[in-house]
Chains A and B, each alone.
Chain A
Amino acid sequence: MTERSARPELGPPQSPMLEIGASVPRADAWAKVIGAEHYAIDHYPLGLLWAGARRAGLAHARLRGVAIEAARALPGVVAVLTAADVPGTNRQGIVHKDQPVLVEDHVRHWGDPVALVLAEDRETLRRALALVEPDLEPLPGVFDIAAALRPDAPTLHPGGNVLLEAEISTGDTASAWDVCAAIVEGTFDLPFQDHGFLETQNGVAQVEPDGILTLTVSTQAPFRDRFEIAHALGLDPLRIRVISPYLGGAFGGKDGATVQCLLALAALHVGGRPVKMVWEREECMIAGYKRHAARLCYRLGALTNGTLHALDCQLYFDTGAYAHLGGEVMELGLEHAGGPYRIAHTRMRGWAVYTNNPIGGAMRGFGVCQASFGFERMLDRLAAALGRDRLDLRRQNALRRGDRNAAGVTLVHSTGLAACLETLSRHPLWLERDRWPDQAPPLKRRGVGVAAVFNAMGYGRGLPDAAIAKIALTPDGRFRVDSAVSDMGQGNASAFAQIAGQILCQRADAIELVQPDTARALPSGSSSAGRTTYSYGNALVRACEALRAKLLHRASLLLMVDEPSGLALLPGRVRHLPTGRDLPLARLAAMLPETDRVSIEQFVMPVSQEVPDTGKAFVIGFPHVLFAYAAHLAYVEIDTLTGKLEVCRYLAVTDGGRVLNPRNFDQQIQGAVAQGIGYALCEELRLQEGRILNPDFARYLLPTSLDVPDIASLAVATVEDTGPFGMKGIGEVGINGPLPAIASAVEAALGRCPSQSPLEPRRLVAEVAAPSASDDAPR
Chain B
Amino acid sequence: MTQVLIPTSLPELWSALREQPSAHLYAGGTDLLVKRRAGLLDPAILIHLGRIDALRGVTADDDGLRLGAGCTHRELLEDAQVRAVLPVLTQALQTLGSPPIRAMGTLGGNLCTASPAGDTLPPLYVLDAEVELWSAGGERRLLLRDFILGPGRTALQSGEILAAVRVRRAPHGSVQHFEKVGLRNALACSLVSLAALVQTNPAGRVKHAAFAWGSVGPTVIRVPEVERHLIGQPLSLSVLSEAAVLARRAVAPIDDLRADADYRRQVAGNLLLRLAETGSAPER
Interface residues of A (CB under 8 A from B): 441-443, 640-644, 681-682, 686, 693-694, 698-699, 701, 703-707, 760-762, 765, 771, 775-779
Contact = CB atoms under 8 A, between A and B. Distances in A.
Contact of B184 (A443, A643, A682): A682
Given A699-B257, A707-B184, A778 B263 contact: no
B282 A640 contact: yes
A686 B263 CA distance: 18
A779 B279 contact: yes
Contacts of B98: 704
B191 interface: yes
B20 to A, nearest CB: 24
User: Nearest 10 A-B pairs (CB), nearest first?
Assistant: A442-B279, A706-B185, A641-B270, A771-B281, A779-B279, A704-B186, A762-B263, A775-B281, A642-B181, A706-B186
Interface string B256-272: 01111001001100110
B187 interface: yes
B183 interface: yes
A194 to B, nearest CB: 15
Interface of A is mostly: loop
Contacts of B187: 704
B257 A704 contact: no
Interface string B239-276: 00000000000000000011110010011001101101
Interface of B: 34, 98, 181, 183-189, 191, 257-260, 263, 266-267, 270-271, 273-274, 276, 278-282
10 contacts: A642-B271, A693-B257, A701-B183, A704-B185, A705-B186, A761-B259, A771-B281, A775-B280, A775-B282, A776-B281
B188 to A, nearest CB: 7
A148 to B, nearest CB: 24
Given A693-B257, A698-B34, A699-B257, A765 B280 contact: no
Nearest to A772: B281
Contact of A707 (B185, B258, B278): B185
Given A443-B274, A641-B270, A761-B191, A775 B279 contact: yes
Given A682-B183, A693-B257, A707-B184, A777 B271 contact: no
Contacts of A640: 282
A441 B278 CA distance: 11
Given A698-B189, A778-B278, 11 more contacts: A442-B276, A641-B267, A641-B271, A642-B271, A643-B267, A703-B184, A704-B185, A761-B181, A761-B267, A762-B259, A778-B279
A771 B282 contact: yes
A760 B183 contact: yes
Contacts of A701: 183-184, 188
Given A442-B279, A762-B260, A779-B279, A704 B184 contact: yes
B257 A641 contact: no
A641 B260 contact: no
A637 to B, nearest CB: 13
A39 to B, nearest CB: 22
Interface centre among A443, A641, A703 (most CB of B within 10 A): A641
A54 to B, nearest CB: 17
Contacts of B280: 775-776
Contacts of A441: 279
A644 B278 CA distance: 21
B282 A443 contact: yes
Given A703-B184, A707-B184, A760-B183, A642 B282 contact: no
A760 B188 CA distance: 14
Nearest to A686: B257
B281 A765 contact: no
B272 to A, nearest CB: 9
A682 to B, nearest CB: 5
A694 B271 contact: no
A75 to B, nearest CB: 17
Contacts of A777: 279
A443 B241 CA distance: 13
A443 B183 CA distance: 19
B185 A765 contact: no
Contacts of A778: 278-279
Contact of B263 (A707, A761, A776): A761
A762 B279 CA distance: 23
Contacts of A643: 263, 267
A443 B34 contact: no
Given A704-B184, A707-B185, A641 B281 contact: no
Contacts of A706: 184-186
B247 to A, nearest CB: 13
B176 to A, nearest CB: 17
Contacts of B278: 442, 778-779
Contact of B267 (A642, A703, A704): A642
A703 B186 CA distance: 9
Contacts of B191: 761
A641 B184 contact: no
Contacts of B274: 443, 641
Contacts of A642: 181, 267, 270-271
A564 to B, nearest CB: 59
Nearest to A704: B186
A738 to B, nearest CB: 15
A777 B281 CA distance: 9
A688 to B, nearest CB: 10
Nearest to B277: A779
A738 B239 CA distance: 39
Nearest to B262: A762
